[in-house]
Each structure stands twice: as structure tokens, then as C-alpha cells.
Chains A and B, each alone.
Chain A
Amino acid sequence: MSASDDKKTPLYQSHVDLGAKMVPFAGYEMPVSYKGLREEHNNTRSNVGLFDVSHMGEFRVVGPQSLEFLQYVTTNDVAKLKKGEAQYSLLLNEKAGVVDDLIIYCVEENKNYFLCVNASNADKDFKWLTKLNTYDCELTNEGDEWSQIAVQGPKAFSLLEAIYGSAISKLKPFNFDNFEAEGISIIFAATGYTGEPGGEIFVKNNDAKKLWDLLLDKGQQYGVAPVGLGARDTLRMEMRYALHGQEISEERLIVGAGLGWVIKHQKGDFIGKQAYVNAKEKGAIEKLSCFKLKEPGIPRAGYKLINEAKEVIGEVTSGTLSPTLNVGIGIGYIAADQAVVGNEIFVQIRNKSVKAIVVKPPFIEK
């Protein structure tokens, strides 16, 4: 592996000092684990985890037609957003495949919106949006200015309150606000990718290390531990949160992904709307489903799902050994008529058919 071309987040040296195993990911050198994936996963479920997610992409849309622009390029209803509110949304292509999923933050209604996109898609998204921006608004890439630290876990708000006071716990899910402590200004959003309480902090690069150290220091009494990309993935899988490139992609129609709740096709025209409506009328031929293994084994992306008669009925998009449940869990597309909770299916793991059962998401009680 050649590390020379990869960017480093402002926290790179902190990760190395903490003993992290670094891997190239989305053009960055990122920590995949520190003390061990399962320990980090479990600590996030029982205490609080800190995640460097500075590789994520950040854009800003400013100007009189910023709302119109975002309404046209994303699927959720941006007009619903008031200042300080955020929403999960999608960028679709004309075929109703997913260019990316993202969060849109309303900084000022009709005037100023902040976008957070996937690291691996940031460059592609920026080109895509730039090409589509024929509106009276300016789109800028702020990815190189911002670092991002996620604070997640049942004790996340105890830690955050210790630094920012009780106001921070009053934020409702998907709301955000500015906070300041120890001379560091942050934007805190009550969002996350683990299913745990907590949020994601945007901080300018210059202050990222100071903030990281502050969170680690103040978090000691709450059992804080840094978490790498490995556990970030298993945590999101247990919640059945989609990962672009796996559950959703440009090639796969969004209908069937169970994300209809973020596609507001009554709001007016948007890219991919016609293709989405057409596909929805026809009905999804495959549905994104969750399954749990009833025998030893670990499902992995790309493995086939089969029925008793050994016919292929679907494919795994993500899978792991659930650190919480200690059984193999998977997410995958299954032929619509067989994507029924309680249905027994099989995962083709190498030369073995391993019994599994379709379950209702999420995999764990939250």
C-alpha cells in the first residue's frame, strides 16, 4: 500500500499515538481500529465512543435560490427545514439510482444550507452538483476546512454536558446548534450512525486536535474510547443503516431500499422523480431485508441468498458477526415475494448453505 497519496485528517497523529491501525480509506489514512473492533463496538453500546469522521465531505449552498436548487437535486422536502434543523436525504440520478446519501443542515432558511456527504463520493458529488447548479446560488466545497468527530453512546450526553452544559442535551434528534468551550467553537448536530444517543460535531481543522483531546480527557470518567472505521461499520449494520456502495448505489433502483420515507415525490420536480414514481408503481422486485444466521458462519457482501430449493433469491450487501448478538447478521436484497419477516432462507457461504431467518430491523433493541 502506498500511503504517500493519502490525505491525513488533523487527528492522524493522535490516532497513531493511540496505537491505531491505519488504513487507506476514501483517499485518507484512517484508523480502522485501536484496541480491537469488538471492544470498541461494545464500549460504544455501553459507554461512549469517539469517532474521527473528518474524511466526510462538506459543501455549502448559499444564495437566493439555494432552496430551489436543493429541492431539485435531493429527494427529501428541504422546504420543511427550519433554521437549526437537519434532514437525511438522497441525491438520485435520472434512473432513480443513488448518487449518494447525505444530511442537509438548514443554517438559514432559503439562504444558507450545509451538506454532509460520504467521503468516498465527495468529489463525484461536488462535480455532479456543480453541473446541476444553474440556480442563483453558490455551491462551495468546504471539505478541507472541517473536521468531524462523532460522539456516540449511552453516556455521550453526560460527556457533552460536562463540557457544554445541559443545553446540549435538549437538542432534539436531527437538530443542530453552535456551542463553545475552551475557546473552541463547534457545530453540534444530534445525529449519528450507531443507533446510540449522541451526535456529530463539526469543528474547524485548527481546533480538531484540541477538541479530540478535550473529549478524551473529560470522557475518562464516562469510559470514553476512540472507535475505528471497523466498529463504525458493525455498529451501523446492527441498526440496518444503509451504506452507499453497498445497500444503495447508482446502479440499483432506490425503490426496494426501504427509504421511501425520504423521497417526497409530492414536493415538486426533482432528479430521478419520474423513474422513481414509475418503478414504485410497478412495485419493487427486490427488497432490502435483514437476516440473522441460525447456524455458525458470517455473511459477507456478495454472497448469494438461496431458498430451500437452492434457487438464488437474493444477495448480501453487508454482513458481519454482530458483536452485540454474537451471531452472523446480514443485510441484502431478497426477491420481494420472499422478503418476508420470519421466512427461512440460506446464505451460500463458500460451499455451504447456512440457515438464516429474515428478521425485522434493527437487529438490536434501541
Chain B
Amino acid sequence: MMRVPEENYYTKEHEWAYVDENIVTVGITTYAQDSLGEVVYVELPDEGQKVTQAEPFGVVESVKAVSDLIAPVSGTVIDVNALVNENAGILNDDPMNDGWLVRIEMDTERELASLMRAPEYRKLIEK
């Protein structure tokens, strides 16, 4: 069974979002990395860049496929995980922790309402 931590929010494109006050840490889910296969390349925004909810903010590539990273919330990127550029494989090994991608300072908490919580996301991936 794939890990779907209760505390996170989820997008239908298989990103997770961990919310601490107004700071949202974003990554891809275990399910996403499994569907992608070995991740070999990640393209992330720079710090200070604005992102918009439900729009791409980067890409993640396996040998076989390219997949857009979709922003779970709108806001400003305040931190980028340098580790994933050095070792994209960390997205396969530990997508929910060390493989986090960006931290976003979110514009408004209201956007969280359109994201999924764990039980709903579990249903989506069990289909």
C-alpha cells in the first residue's frame, strides 16, 4: 500500500502539499514517482518566482516521459530543494520527504479548499 500521509493536501496531478502556517512544501507523491519510473531530470522555478494554482511550475522527467509539476497553490517560491538537481533519483527514493521540490509562500489559504485530503486522494489512486 502506498503511503498517503494524513496531514498533507493532494492535487489530482499527484503532488502533495504540506501546509505550515502560510508556507506550503510541495513534492510528488509515491504514486506519481511509481508511474513515472526512474526520475532523471527535474526543472524547478527560481526562488522569488510566482506560481499560480493549477498551473505548471516545473517539470519532472523520467527516461521515458515528461510530466508537468502543477502548483497546488498560488504564491511565491521561497525555497528550492537543491538536492533534486544533484540527484533526481531522490524523487523515487524518498518523494514524500527528502525529495520535496519547492516551498511556496501562499497568497491565500482559501485555495486549499480545492485540494484533496488523504482519504479522497487514496480513493483516486486506488481506482
Binding site for B on A (CB under 8 A): 21, 32-33, 36-38, 230, 233-234, 296-298, 300, 320-321, 323, 350
Contact = CB atoms under 8 A, between A and B. Distances in A.
B63 interface: yes
B63 A323 contact: yes
Given A321-B41, A350-B43, 7 more contacts: A38-B40, A38-B63, A230-B37, A296-B41, A298-B61, A298-B66, A321-B61
Contacts of A297: 41
Contacts of A32: 37, 64
A234 B63 contact: yes
Contacts of B43: 350
Interface residues of A, dominant DSSP = mixed
B38 A298 contact: no
A256 B84 CA distance: 40
B64 A320 contact: yes
A38 B64 CA distance: 10
Interface of B: 37-38, 40-41, 43, 59, 61-64, 66
A350 B57 CA distance: 12
Contacts of A33: 37
A37 B66 contact: no
B127 to A, nearest CB: 11
Contact of B38 (A36, A233, A300, A350): A36
Given A230-B37, A297-B41, A321-B40, A37 B59 contact: no
Contacts of B38: 36-38
Nearest to B56: A350
B41 A37 contact: no
A350 B41 CA distance: 14
Nearest to B61: A298
Contacts of B62: 37
7 contacts: A37-B37, A37-B64, A38-B40, A298-B40, A298-B63, A320-B64, A321-B63
A37 B37 CA distance: 8
Nearest to A352: B43
B64 A36 contact: no
B28 to A, nearest CB: 17
A32 B64 CA distance: 10
A323 B37 CA distance: 14
A323 B62 CA distance: 11
A154 B38 CA distance: 25
Contacts of B41: 296-298, 321
A334 B59 CA distance: 26
B63 A230 contact: yes
Q: Which 5 A-B pairs have the closest CB atoms?
A: A321-B40, A37-B63, A230-B64, A298-B61, A321-B63
Nearest to A229: B64
Contacts of B64: 32, 37, 230, 233, 320
A252 B64 CA distance: 24
Contacts of A233: 64
A296 B84 CA distance: 14
Nearest to B64: A230
A297 B37 CA distance: 17
A320 B63 contact: yes
Contacts of A321: 40-41, 61, 63
Contacts of B63: 37-38, 230, 234, 298, 320-321, 323
A300 B62 CA distance: 11
Nearest to B40: A321
Contacts of A230: 37, 63-64
Nearest to B92: A36
A21 B65 CA distance: 15
A350 B66 CA distance: 11
Contacts of B61: 298, 321
B46 to A, nearest CB: 13
A323 B66 CA distance: 16
A290 B62 CA distance: 21
Contacts of A300: 66
Contacts of B66: 298, 300
A51 to B, nearest CB: 16
A323 B41 CA distance: 13
A350 B61 CA distance: 13
Contacts of B40: 38, 298, 321
Nearest to A231: B63
A321 B64 CA distance: 8
A155 B61 CA distance: 31
